Amino acid sequence: NAGVTQTPKFQVLKTGQSMTLQCAQDMNHEYMSWYRQDPGMGLRLIHYSVGAGITDQGEVPNGYNVSRSTTEDFPLRLLSAAPSQTSVYFCASSAPLGGGDTDTQYFGPGTRLTVL
Amino acid sequence: KNEVEQSPQNLTAQEGEFITINCSYSVGISALHWLQQHPGGGIVSLFMLSSGKKKHGRLIATINIQEKHSSLHITASHPRDSAVYICAVPNAGGTSYGKLTFGQGTILTVHP
């Protein structure tokens, strides 16, 4: 299993540009989440999904959109990038379909985004 | 929303020392997570515990549900233990459903 994969690893954008951060997992997990990590702030929840077709907002959703059309993929879209969105973004998944351990979290390697 | 406090924020130790990192939270939970983030940035899950104590090698995690407090201990610390240790709990208490609230992390540096 590849686990949780994220692309790209690094990205530089100009203010106002849009882009999509990709996240995929091959563990048949129900729950997927996006977090951002900023110095001194810890990790904060942006959006999450409890299954295909179901998404909801976390603590800091403004400026981001998500969709979950399949169990495997959970892309994060930046609509119009701003310098305040410079951060490291982590995708995580948990809860295998069919039961079992629902709480252990698996994290992707992260995407380091800089908005100029 | 669950509030998480971790202490200390920074910890420096000599190789071989016993390390303790503390985590307190405000709302009752089903399970608490201890995570490790290496200098390269990757985050791995060390423990998920809902009661009592768990041990993996030199790492021991304990939780007191009534006091809403958990500790992570490292016995015989080694320079390779240098990392950021993060405590996380379900965002709104109870079960996480993939939504976590994180402590700010403890930066551990172990010198040879």
Answer yes or no: is pLDDT of A40 > 90.
Answer: no
Contacts with B95 from chain A: Cβ below 8 Å: 102-103
Report pLDDT for B30.
Answer: 79
Contacts with B1 from chain A: Cβ below 8 Å: 59
| C-alpha distances in Å from residue A76, one per residue of A11, A18, B26, B49 | 14, 11, 30, 30
Report pLDDT for B93.
Answer: 62
Confidence of residue B39 (pLDDT cuts 50, 70, 90): confident
CA distance B76 to chain A (A): 26
Question: Which distant-in-sequence residues (6+ apart) come within 8 Å of A32 by Cβ?
Answer: A23, A25, A48, A49, A68, A74, A91, A92, A93, B98
Distance CA B85, CA B4 (A): 13
Report pLDDT for B72.
Answer: 98
Q: What is the pLDDT of residues B41-54, one digit of tens each?
A: 789 999 888 889 99
Q: What is the pLDDT of residues B53-110, one digit of tens each?
A: 999 999 999 999 999 999 999 999 999 999 999 999 987 766 666 788 999 999 999 9
- CB distance B102–A43 less than 8 Å? yes
Q: Does B64 touch chain A (CB under 8 A)?
A: no
Contacts with A51 from chain B: Cβ below 8 Å: none
Answer yes or no: is pLDDT of A100 > 70.
Answer: no
- CB distance A103–B1 less than 8 Å? no
Report pLDDT for A33.
Answer: 94
